[in-house]
Structure 1
Amino acid sequence: MTDSLADPHLRFPAATAADGAPRDIVILGSTGSIGTQAIDVVLRNPDRFRVTALSAAGGRVELLAEQARKLRVGTVAVSQADKVPALREALAAAYGTGEPLPEILAGPDAATELAASPCHSVLNGITGSIGLAPTLAALEAGRVLVLANKESLIVGGPLVKAVAKPGQIVPVDSEHSALFQALLGGTRREVRKLVVTASGGPFRGRSKHELTQVTPEQALAHPTWAMGPVVTINSATLVNKGLEVIEAHLLFDIPFDRIEVVVHPQSYIHSMVEFTDGSTLAQVSPPDMRMPIALGLGWPERVADAAPGCDWTKAASWEFFPLDDEAFPSVGLARHVGTLGGTAPAVFNAANEECVDAFLARKLPFNGIVDTVAEVVAEGLASGVVNMSQGGAQQSGTPATGTRLTVADVLEAETWARARARELAARAAKATSTPEARV
């Protein structure tokens, strides 16, 4: 195995703040679920962290302005330039008379600019593959990347591996944070396999046939986690778990055939590492994202009282079930595209995002999400849109450090996949709306 992107034994030699000074942090996606919880961690630990800049899409400018005021940041950014007037108004209302307002950056490249700004760590909490450019900018600028934006690694795996130094990335996903911590229990050559846990989502135990009538409201009712709509639907289809398998492969340089998925409904064991002597180390904590966020921000030190621990005085039972690949084929499909490498993961991710939108708009049935994604991937392979020659992963290894893959390649593949997924979803919607289909 080569040096991994997220090896807990390797501490990236980033510049550190002077003794006693808080660590400077940039938070991308500050108004989302990860961003708001990260700010909670920061506000409760002002001696440890100082936020210098915030970015958001622009849909919640009042919240962004309030965050900026509480944190006294120097810069705020929105990707939607038309939101700047509303943001200026919100900042003026949030700040007192005469108080200096933060600088405003706007446009699709604003978050990327912030990611390269002077700081110790960049928390990338953006949702979707639009987080790729900020991820690359943070790494190229030598920042520690606290990564919650799994899509940027998945769609741009060879690109990220080409610029990231060993140990420069600290993962925030609860599963990958758990693996990161459990890997401290042995050397890399002693790792037999990674075991990624899944809650099973709201439809655990249902057959493929029973999933045909699932509604968006049912799919958005996750039993454990409070997340945004795309991530919540991905958890219901288990696409999210498939993405996490690819992410684990890239982060820790473990072959796909040594990464397992097991269903654990209680979500207390966030993932496990099995070693060659037969022992398994698990990371355990109540389901609370503030814990992995705090670990990412504070690494290599932990943040005291980041989240409540387990109450061992109360009786509890934890269950484990094998993954039902027939009802939830998304994990197997993700392994396939991860093994193909190149632009295949980008096609998979982009097509899925479009299919999730179509499902939420009631234009595509629940099972149609993954079925349509699989069709787009297959068409991409047949037509040559999916490029496997750009450092694609193999079952027994990972992409080479050098790669000919470019951001333009990824964007081109994504654009095609989105357009084709929309066409297929529209065709499915038209078919189900005909009188013959309703009979």
Structure 2
Amino acid sequence: MNNPRHDIVVIGGGVIGMNIAYKLAKSGRDVALIEPDELGMGASYGNAGTIADYATIPLGTPNVLRDLPRLMFDRESPLSIHYSVVPRLLPWLIQFAFQSLPGPSRANAKALGQLLNNANALWRTTAEELGASHLLHQRGCLYLYDSENAFIAAKADEKMRRDNGVALEVISASEVLQLEPGLSTFQGGAHYFPDATSIDDPGALMKTFASRLNDLGMSVIKARANNIVEHGQYSDIHCDDNLIVSARKVVIAAGAHSRALARSVGENVTLDTERGYHLEFDMPKSPVSRPVCSARRGFYASPMNGRLRIAGTVEFGGVDLPASPQRLAMLERGARELLPQLGEVSRAWLGFRPSVPNSVPIIRRSKRSKHIILAFGHGHIGVTLAPVTATMVQALI
């Protein structure tokens, strides 16, 4: 059988890859998408459902660097590292420490602010084109600092956000509880992002996207891409079962699985995997009316259709280890502290985020080939930046 050949092949069927493929196909290009699993059902499905255009603070900051030893060894910390991966993770950690210094951290926040500036508007346009506007709602978002000391220390976060164009209100704990009376009483306050948009059902949005790609007649190749070999004007993408797919242009948008593909074309990127968890509580009415993030616990409580999703934390441990019962138990304890009226957990989930040391996603041409484009490393803001990334990749192509 002849190997398929296309003008453009996008590797990765998550929210980034689908947005890129959609934008290119809509403009009339011959596009194929390679994805081994169901489209959009990885981290694109399991996230907190926030279009977080306020997320201009990188993971690495001077405060995080100062607290890193404590965070790594505290069982209740929102950040953890499996000891077995520490040797492999060392290059990432060294770069992360550098990027957490004051100068690099400010530069990374500025870069994130520029990327996020138009994210909300682009998502609204995309959702309207997909016929999915009913899944997006501008309900605002609360970011809680649940002690007086944490609230005072958050002045630095406030300044960094405002410096990078984020509209926010600083409100007291009593004002938070007026907005969200279902929350436990706490000291401190919150940053309130009144313009923030949330997604009622990320899974439903991903299925809508997949259906639209099918309507456009796009070729979706159910395979796992392993490496890329260039020859002349074409690149061969070698997949499982001896399948080879050829393309004039290749976009690597495989999320946490992008590093090996990038290395096969000579790009030695520093990319690792954050393991993200969520718990869901089925209920007819959520105890919160908008996404609420606990800064100390490192998770969001996000109301969704018929359920509340508790999503977040940062765990480094690769893609092969099973879900950690300890991390799920920690997430549940934090959820019950925040919302004591919760019932039984309905389901749990583990997914993988592609993480770079500076928190700024890699969106550029390969330095080794003008035919290869890199679009990965979005960390916690993959859903948020998907239409932005698609616009940038289209311009590069």
TM-score using structure 1 length = 0.25
TM-score using structure 2 length = 0.27
**Structure holding more helix per residue:** 1
**Structure holding more strand per residue:** 2
